[in-house]
Amino acid sequence: MQNKMTPHIRSKIQGTGRTQQTGWDPVPQADPEAVRNLTFQQFSATNLQRCNRWHAEKPWHLADWVVAFIGEFGEACNNIKKLKRIEDGIQHIGMSEDVLHAELAREIADAFIYLDLMASAAGVDLVAAVVEKFNVVSAKYDFPERLCLPDTSNQIPE
Ligand SMILES: [Mg+2]
């Protein structure tokens, strides 16, 4: 696989911490408190910053981001398919349920990262779009849950 890569792509992979012989270098564990306090805006800004570093020479078209997102979402679906087979007692050869679940988390993360970059490529403020759509659906079905309203009605009911 790596022999087919262009030198441009190979150099980008080397810059990410991936090694030719061992795969991925060990990644330091994130601080759980920092994870709890991370805002979506901080994540999205860092995601876009890394993307611009990675794709500075040849930015991707929106269609490239869509395909990347769907590819990762498909990988998550494949893990769900395998977990469902285990749940249904269908013979399954391969990863254990625990490993599949851990892989599912990684694939969902991959999809989420690409979804954010897809929104950026489309010029969409993903958080603002999600808040607006969430509140539209709540209003349509008369649910009390609302996000980010300027008064006390944005409190989630107990
Ligand atoms: Mg993946």
Model confidence, pTM: 0.77
> How far does the centroid of ligand 1 lie from the alpha carbon of residue 74, in Å?
9
Coil, helix or strand at residue 143: coil
Domain coverage including residue 119: 61-147
Mean per-residue pLDDT pooled into runs of 10, the chain (158 residues) = 38 46 72 96 95 90 96 97 93 87 96 97 95 97 95 60
- pLDDT given for residue 146 in this prediction: 96
Same domain, 91 and 136: yes
Same domain, 90 and 134: yes
- pLDDT given for residue 4 in this prediction: 41
Q: Are 126 and 119 in contact (CB under 8 A)?
A: yes
**For the chain, what is the domain count?**
2
Same domain, 67 and 142: yes
> How far does the centroid of ligand 1 lie from the alpha carbon of residue 1, in Å?
16
> How far does the centroid of ligand 1 lie from the alpha carbon of residue 143, in Å?
35
Same domain, 83 and 107: yes
> How far does the centroid of ligand 1 lie from the alpha carbon of residue 113, in Å?
10
- pLDDT given for residue 154 in this prediction: 57
- Residue 68 and residue 54: Cα distance in Å, rounded? 15
- pLDDT given for residue 7 in this prediction: 38
Instruction: Cite the DSSP H helix spans in 24-153.
Output: 32-37, 40-54, 62-87, 97-121, 126-140
> How far does the centroid of ligand 1 lie from the alpha carbon of residue 138, in Å?
32
Same domain, 91 and 43: no
- Residue 11, in any domain of the structure: yes
Same domain, 74 and 129: yes
DSSP 107-122: HHHHHHHHHHHHHHHT
